[in-house]
């Protein structure tokens, strides 16, 4: 009995190995790379190894001693690669502006061999603040700067975590906006999806087929096609505005696109099936004679609805709401195409940092925040559905 | 009780209008002969469908989508089917059910987050701006659909049939190819169709990983909506919608035939 079971296990492992290897290489590894880029800061440590060793015991009260200064000079001289030098300049300049000119001047002056007097090259080298920035940068290849910046925090000169000055960063605002938009879309999906699923569950035959087909067909249609359709319908001279004008309800077009309203309409359309289907599957499992039973015991239809049907459908509503909210949080395409500049959600900001600004640290940090929120919601969803399966 | 059914009917009709209206309303615009996407349509022509097959940007993107879709379907179906066979009947095991959850995670992780990571990692291995890179990226998000479809098909395979074949002297491989896989075939086919549809519709990962030479149809549509919208997009959408209906009918036929 032992040997066949072992053999079956081995077969299962062999069957799973290709996908496991694939997922580790191309799903887990990219996510780890992204997380690492959020907290890693290797530029200065790699470019200035001697300085890092020499400044490790520096007291920060006075200018570093001569050996540390010549270690720094040796590091700068060893930087033959212009790209690496450029990275170093950008890294240090982002903490303290002025490093661009200081390092450029210093590198030109060090072009050659011989003794070094950094203070003679530039008087700034006799100030401790410049050395302190270098010491901070080479102290560790890791940083919490990006993660803090993702929630509008920073480290002040004393090294404590503090709020960023007003207007310096808008990440918290964008996160609140993302949450509010996702919550509004979820609410809209509940308000439309719950009664619709109830209607679909209350009829049978071809009527039910039509009601479900109307939900499934958009789900099957390309997301781009649906977004394009809303783009055309919602535009200033689109169908809705033409209809409103034709009915004499408005003379000037109502702006339905490039604003929050358009984003919510289009996202509700895209995510509505994920609300209707879980609620529907819960509802059809409810015994059909429950409502007549409530009525026969004298309950008013409204009361029977509130006390019997609604509580029973809540399970479906909760799973649907979690699915919709989770998907809405990370949404990119629809807000990017239908939304205006003030409706961009966290995904757009991540895409901006990654593609336009090439700031991988910030892209990674915001990505990490979004990933953490999504996984948390997914864990809740898994727990709920697992509990349901056990109780069912 | 009389107002309730009427109310139900009106509500259901309104929601169906919301769900299907925009998709149906834009379709006639694919036959417009003007460059604007407005009603009333001044005249009808097939110029925008011709544009799809003659304009280099659209033609290239259609060819790319088919190539990348075929590659993704092959890779995802192979990996997903093998894994579904490995996970079969092991729901109780913690290790295997954890693996299953991990394999399904690409459905949940926001595409932008995965895209950033893939761009960072792929650029180190020279996979960005290559067809292989795009196929790999699409396969990551397509595999869960294959896994779900094949797993549920395998659940429907009666173990007694396999035991019967084995007791009659069939080797495990023979049981697999002569009994298990043929019965699970509808699930494998619908998983493959899902994988193809996922690849066809994928935009975000493509934005991060693909170069101009790997521009897919979905990517081209994204660019067209964003930069200069033209009726060609509705023609592409019409092709998509008709394709969707044909695919779902094919799937129904396959199910009915093999069930």
Is there a contact between B83 and A225 if contact means CB atoms under 8 Å apart? no
Question: Do A384 and A250 belong to one domain?
Answer: yes
Does the structure show a pLDDT above 90 at A191? Answer: yes
Q: What is the mean pLDDT of chain A?
A: 84
Q: In chain B, whose CA is at the least distance from the CA of A13?
A: B86
Q: Which of A6, A182, A222 to mutate to test the interface with B (most CBs of B within 10 A)?
A: A222
Which tokens in the block code for residue A175? 């996160």
Count of structural domains within chain A: 2
Rounded Cα distance between B150 and B183, Å, is 11
The residue with greater pLDDT, A66 or B141, is B141
Count of structural domains within chain B: 1
Question: Do A106 and A181 belong to one domain?
Answer: no
Per-residue CA distances from B202 to A114, A157, A298, B218 (Å): 59, 45, 54, 7
Distance from CA of B221 to the nearest CA of A (A): 7
Q: Which of A244, A217, A333 is nearest to B21 (CA)?
A: A217
Rounded Cα distance between B103 and A324, Å, is 21
Is there a contact between B248 and A239 if contact means CB atoms under 8 Å apart? no
Does any domain span residue A149?
A: no
Q: Which of A379, A354, A378 is nearest to A364 (CA)?
A: A354
Q: What residues of A are in contact with residue B103 (Cβ under 8 Å)? A: 19, 23
A232, A242, A350: residue with CB nearest B26: A232
Does any domain span residue B224?
A: yes
Least confident of A43-52, A100-109, A302-311, B152-161: A302-311
Question: Do A251 and A332 belong to one domain?
Answer: yes
Is there a contact between A355 and B207 if contact means CB atoms under 8 Å apart? yes
CA angle A381, A387, A391 (to 5 degrees): 145
Could you tell me which residues are beta bridge partners of residue A142? A40
Does the structure show a pLDDT above 50 at B1? Answer: no
Question: Which pLDDT tens digit goes with each residue over A60-96?
Answer: 888 888 888 888 888 888 887 888 888 888 888 878 8
Rounded Cα distance between B234 and B23, Å, is 10
pLDDT band at A1 (very low <50, low <70, confident <90, very high): very low
Distance from CA of B258 to the nearest CA of A (A): 22
Q: What residues of B are in contact with residue A13 (Cβ under 8 Å)? A: 86
Is there a contact between B121 and A347 if contact means CB atoms under 8 Å apart? no
Distance from CA of A310 to the nearest CA of B (A): 16
pLDDT band at B70 (very low <50, low <70, confident <90, very high): very high
Least confident of A282-286, B122-126, B141-145, B200-204: A282-286
Mention every residue, 6+ apart, whose C-beta is less than 8 A from residue B29. Answer: A232, B37, B39, B41, B231, B234
Does any domain span residue A251?
A: yes
SS3 A163: strand
Question: Do A178 and A130 belong to one domain?
Answer: no
Does the structure show a pLDDT above 50 at B15? Answer: yes
The residue with greater pLDDT, B244 or B133, is B133
State which residues form the domain around A109.
43-140
Q: What residues of A are in contact with residue B106 (Cβ under 8 Å)? A: 27
State which residues form the domain around B87.
41-258
Question: Do A232 and A312 belong to one domain?
Answer: yes
SS3 A336: helix
Assign residue B220 the CATH number of its domain: 1.10.3720.10
Does the structure show a pLDDT above 60 at B259? Answer: no
ipTM: 0.88
Question: Do A204 and A115 belong to one domain?
Answer: no
Mean pLDDT confidence for A222-228:
87
Inter-chain Cβ pairs, chain A and chain B, closer than 8 A: 224
Rounded Cα distance between A324 and A267, Å, is 10
Question: Do A210 and A125 belong to one domain?
Answer: no
B79, B120, B222: residue with CB nearest A37: B120
Question: Do A248 and A311 belong to one domain?
Answer: yes
SS3 A143: coil
Does any domain span residue B31?
A: no
Rounded Cα distance between A92 and A124, Å, is 14
Rounded Cα distance between B234 and A334, Å, is 17
B12, B88, B241: residue with CB nearest A196: B12
Q: What residues of A are in contact with residue B78 (Cβ under 8 Å)? A: 18
Q: What residues of B are in contact with residue A224 (Cβ under 8 Å)? A: 201, 203, 218, 221-222, 225, 237, 240
Question: Do A194 and A322 belong to one domain?
Answer: yes
Question: Do A197 and A324 belong to one domain?
Answer: yes
Distance from CA of A11 to the nearest CA of B (A): 7
Q: In chain A, whose CA is at the least distance from the CA of B113?
A: A367
Question: Which pLDDT tens digit goes with each residue over A127-178?
Answer: 888 888 888 888 888 888 888 888 878 777 667 788 877 766 678 888 889 9
Does the structure show a pLDDT above 90 at A292? Answer: no
Is there a contact between B116 and A360 if contact means CB atoms under 8 Å apart? yes
pLDDT in the model for residue A137: 84
Does the structure show a pLDDT above 80 at A4? Answer: no
SS3 A162: strand
Q: Which of B5, B112, B139 to mutate to test the interface with A (most CBs of A within 10 A)?
A: B112
Does any domain span residue A21?
A: no
pLDDT in the model for residue A237: 79
Does any domain span residue A148?
A: no
Question: Do A175 and A292 belong to one domain?
Answer: yes
The residue with greater pLDDT, B4 or B136, is B136
Assign residue A242 the CATH number of its domain: 1.10.3720.10
For the whole model, what pTM was predicted? 0.86
Question: Do A96 and A216 belong to one domain?
Answer: no
Write down which residue in A140, A161, A194 finishes a domain: A140
Rounded Cα distance between B59 and B211, Å, is 16
Residue with tokens 């599957």: A281
Contact between residue A332 and residue B204 where contact means Cβ atoms under 8 Å apart:
yes
Rounded Cα distance between B111 and A329, Å, is 11
pLDDT band at A203 (very low <50, low <70, confident <90, very high): confident
How far is it between the farthest Cα atoms of chain B?
72
Is there a contact between A222 and B19 if contact means CB atoms under 8 Å apart? no
pLDDT band at B3 (very low <50, low <70, confident <90, very high): low
Does any domain span residue A352?
A: yes
Is there a contact between A239 and B39 if contact means CB atoms under 8 Å apart? yes
Does any domain span residue B13?
A: no
Q: What residues of A are in contact with residue B229 (Cβ under 8 Å)? A: 228, 231-232
Distance from CA of A129 to the nearest CA of B (A): 34
Does the structure show a pLDDT above 80 at A348? Answer: yes
Does any domain span residue A119?
A: yes
Rounded Cα distance between B140 and B159, Å, is 30
Does any domain span residue B171?
A: yes
CA angle A57, A58, A59 (to 5 degrees): 115
Question: Which pLDDT tens digit goes with each residue over B24-43?
Answer: 888 888 888 777 777 777 87
pLDDT in the model for residue A389: 65
Is there a contact between B112 and A337 if contact means CB atoms under 8 Å apart? no
pLDDT in the model for residue B71: 96
Q: Which of A232, A274, A351, A353 to mutate to test the interface with B (most CBs of B within 10 A)?
A: A232
Does any domain span residue A34?
A: no
Q: What residues of B are in contact with residue A382 (Cβ under 8 Å)? A: 101
Contact between residue B85 and residue A15 where contact means Cβ atoms under 8 Å apart:
yes
């Amino acid at each position: 009995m032992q040997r066949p079971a072992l053999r079956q296990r081995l077969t299962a492992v062999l069957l799973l190995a290709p996908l496991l290897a694939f997922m580790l290489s191309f799903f887990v590894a990219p996510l780890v790379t992204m997380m690492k880029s959020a907290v890693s800061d290797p530029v200065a440590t790699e470019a200035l190894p001697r300085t890092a060793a020499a400044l490790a015991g520096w007291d920060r009260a006075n200018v570093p001693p001569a050996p540390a200064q010549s270690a720094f000079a040796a590091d700068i001289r060893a930087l033959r690669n212009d790209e690496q030098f450029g990275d170093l300049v950008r890294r240090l300049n982002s903490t303290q502006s002025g490093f661009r000119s200081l390092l450029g001047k210093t590198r030109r002056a060090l072009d050659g061999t011989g003794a070094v007097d950094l203070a003679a090259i530039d008087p700034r080298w006799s100030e401790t603040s410049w050395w302190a920035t270098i010491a901070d940068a080479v102290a560790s290849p890791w940083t919490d700067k990006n993660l803090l910046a993702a929630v509008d925090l920073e480290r002040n000169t004393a090294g404590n975590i503090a709020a960023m000055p007003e207007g310096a960063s808008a990440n918290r605002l964008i996160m609140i906006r993302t949450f509010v938009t996702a919550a509004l879309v979820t609410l809209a999906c509940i308000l439309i999806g719950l009664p619709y699923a109830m209607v679909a569950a209350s009829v049978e035959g071809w009527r039910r087929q039509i009601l479900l087909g109307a939900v499934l067909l958009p789900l099957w249609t390309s997301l781009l096609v649906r977004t394009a359709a809303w783009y055309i319908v919602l535009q200033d001279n689109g169908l809705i505005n033409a209809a409103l004008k034709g009915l004499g309800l408005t003379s000037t077009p109502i702006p339905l696109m490039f604003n929050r309203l358009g984003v919510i309409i289009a996202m509700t359309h895209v995510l509505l099936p994920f609300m209707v289907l879980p609620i529907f599957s819960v509802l059809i499992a409810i015994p059909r004679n429950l409502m007549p039973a409530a009525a026969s015991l004298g309950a008013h239809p409204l009361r029977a609805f509130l006390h019997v049907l609604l509580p029973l459908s809540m399970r479906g509503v909760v799973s649907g709401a979690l699915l919709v909210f989770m998907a809405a949080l990370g949404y990119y395409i629809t807000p990017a195409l239908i939304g205006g500049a003030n409706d961009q959600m966290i995904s757009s900001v991540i895409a901006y940092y990654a593609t336009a600004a090439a700031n991988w640290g910030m892209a990674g940090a915001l990505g990490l925040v979004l990933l953490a929120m999504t996984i948390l919601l997914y864990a809740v969803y898994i727990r709920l559905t697992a509990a349901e399966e056990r109780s069912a | 009780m009389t107002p309730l059914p009427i109310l139900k009917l009106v509500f259901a009709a309104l929601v169906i209008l919301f769900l299907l209206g925009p998709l149906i309303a834009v379709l006639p615009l694919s036959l417009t002969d003007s460059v604007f996407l407005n009603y009333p349509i001044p005249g009808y022509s097939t110029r925008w469908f011709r544009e799809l097959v003659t304009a280099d940007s659209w033609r290239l993107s259609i060819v790319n989508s088919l190539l990348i879709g075929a590659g993704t379907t092959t890779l995802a179906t192979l990996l997903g089917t093998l894994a579904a066979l490995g996970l079969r009947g092991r729901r109780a095991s913690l290790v295997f059910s954890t693996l299953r959850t991990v394999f399904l995670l690409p459905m949940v992780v926001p595409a932008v987050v995965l895209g950033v990571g893939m761009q960072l990692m792929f650029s180190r291995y020279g996979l960005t701006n290559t067809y292989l890179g795009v196929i790999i990226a699409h396969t990551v998000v397509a595999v869960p659909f294959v896994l779900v479809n094949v797993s549920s098909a395998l659940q429907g395979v009666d173990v007694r049939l396999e035991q019967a074949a084995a007791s009659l002297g069939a080797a495990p491989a023979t049981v697999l190819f002569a009994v298990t896989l043929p019965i699970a075939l509808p699930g494998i086919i619908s998983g493959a169709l899902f994988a193809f549809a996922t690849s066809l519709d994928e935009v975000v990962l493509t934005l991060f990983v693909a170069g101009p030479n790997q521009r897919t149809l979905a990517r081209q549509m994204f660019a067209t909506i964003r930069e200069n919208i033209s009726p060609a997009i509705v023609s592409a959408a019409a092709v998509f919608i008709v394709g969707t209906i044909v695919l779902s009918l094919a799937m129904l036929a396959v199910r009915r035939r093999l069930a």
